Structure 1
Amino acid sequence: MAQRVIREIVEQQKIGPGYFKLVIKAPEIVAQAKIGQFVHIKWIAEERNSDPLLRRPISINRINHEEETITLVYRVVGRGTKVLSNLKPGDQLDIMGPLGTGFSISEDTNRVLVIGGGVGIAPLYPLVNKLIEANKEVILLLGAETAEEVIDLDSFQEFDLELKVATMDGSLGKQGFVTDYLEELEQEMDYIYTCGPTPMMKVIRDWAIDFNVPGQASLEERMGCGTGACLSCVCQVKIEGKDGWTYKQACTAGPVFPLREVIFDE
């Protein structure tokens, strides 16, 4: 069950151009958090209390049960995340969470494809960790603008998996889109997980449909309340077993949805 707590920042570290890692001690959230969920946060320093007004949704990158901490990785894209990046250890955050529906891992799958792009790589670390623990054969494809923006690369390299990277400037791995690797896959996949920019996930969804591969996609949507009240994060999904579609809220029904049901192009 989601809850609201006030907790202090343990660590704030810049890990790349515009990318930051935030560690928070929050035992109540750690006890309930699942891979793929997110928290909705707001700083509470008095002079910043209502500017900007809305919280910021950030996916959970690490869940450390021993230290009772969660780690969040985010990118500065506006005024809110800029304020967040200026906070220091000891500053307090108003946190709601854990929120949303996370990833699930099926016992019936063996060979799994995981594709992440940009800041969408962040929630995939705990997923990959769980897949490895479950003895899945994992092929991991990561894409970013530059080598410096490939989140958690060192940590992923410690896993026993097949890892390929694509960067737009060619500074690491293949130059171009991470989805270019789909054409090079030599083995059939049982399942696919993805999180990243919408154009990337649309290509992946179309590929999954063409090759009849089930999977899950974690959507990156703007959110106001995080609880399903404001309707700012609605997305289009197909109605299972029917030709039509409907709207669902990413904050409650998601952010993880069945990949082939998400409508990215309308």
Structure 2
Amino acid sequence: MKQSMFTLETNEKIAKNTYRMALTGDNGDCTAPGQFVNIRLNGFYLRRPISVCERTENGIVLIYKTVGSGTEYMATLERGTELDLLTGLGNGYTTQQSGESPLLIGGGVGVPPLYDLTKLLVSEGKSVTAIL
């Protein structure tokens, strides 16, 4: 776990109540697909846990759904906003026992973390089937 500042690059609505947020910053602690971050939001006591959809060269991508006042506030944040994140949370997925043809099943906001996992499995030469 590491506390880091990230800069919001994009925060766009991609479906009803669903947003894609791209952040730049030190993603070095986000080492495994399926990990999550905790985001500190001004004016809110609790951080918001959001799964990492993708680790990029210079940051991370989050997909989140607006389900309450915290995530509704997140949807209003604009490019350039500095965000305090705790990164590298959770165990993430392991691919050591995935076999040659892993089956991934997910739904709702459980789907975004499967994106990075799929990329990793394919890079390992696996034939991935997904049911979403």
Q: Mapping of 1:144-159 within 5 angstroms?
A: none
- Alignment-mate amino acid for residue 100 of structure 1: G
Q: Percent identity?
A: 33
Q: Deviations over 1:186-221 (max 9, x none)?
A: xxxxxxxxxxxxxxxxxxxxxxxxxxxxxxxxxxxx
The Cα RMSD (Å) is 1.3
Would you say the 8 A contact 2:19–2:75 is kept in 1? yes
Which residue, out of 85, 95, 99, partners 1:109? 99
CA distance in 1, matches of 2:21, 2:15: 13
Q: Deviations over 1:164-201 (max 9, x none)?
A: xxxxxxxxxxxxxxxxxxxxxxxxxxxxxxxxxxxxxx
In structure 2, the CA distance between the partners of 1:108 and 1:122, relative to structure 1 (3 Å rule), is: closer
Where relative contact order (Cα < 8 A, 6+ residues apart) is larger, the structure is 2
TM-score, scaled relative to structure 1: 0.48
CA distance in 2, matches of 1:93, 1:31: 16
- Alignment-mate amino acid for residue 51 of structure 2: S
Tell me, what secondary structure is at the counterpart of 1:111?
coil
Q: Mapping of 1:115-130 within 5 angstroms?
A: 115-130=105-120
Tell me, what secondary structure is at the counterpart of 1:123?
helix
Which residue, out of 49, 70, 75, partners 1:85? 75
Deviation at 1:107, TM superposition (A): 5.7
CA distance in 2, matches of 1:40, 1:54: 9
CA distance in 2, matches of 1:25, 1:96: 14
Partner in structure 1 of residue 9 of structure 2? 10
In structure 2, the CA distance between the partners of 1:108 and 1:6, relative to structure 1 (3 Å rule), is: closer
Tell me, what secondary structure is at the counterpart of 2:102?
strand
Runs ≥4 in structure 1, deviation > 3 angstroms? none
Tell me, what secondary structure is at the counterpart of 2:67?
coil
Tell me, what secondary structure is at the counterpart of 1:106?
coil
Which structure has the larger Rg?
Answer: 1
Report how many residues are paired. Answer: 131
Q: Which has more helix, going by share of residues?
A: 1
Unaligned runs of at least 5 residues, structure 1? 44-48, 143-266
CA distance in 1, matches of 2:100, 2:118: 13
Partner in structure 1 of residue 35 of structure 2? 37
CA distance in 2, matches of 1:138, 1:98: 25
Which residue, out of 50, 55, 60, partners 1:63? 55
Deviation at 1:115, TM superposition (A): 0.6
TM-score, scaled relative to structure 2: 0.93
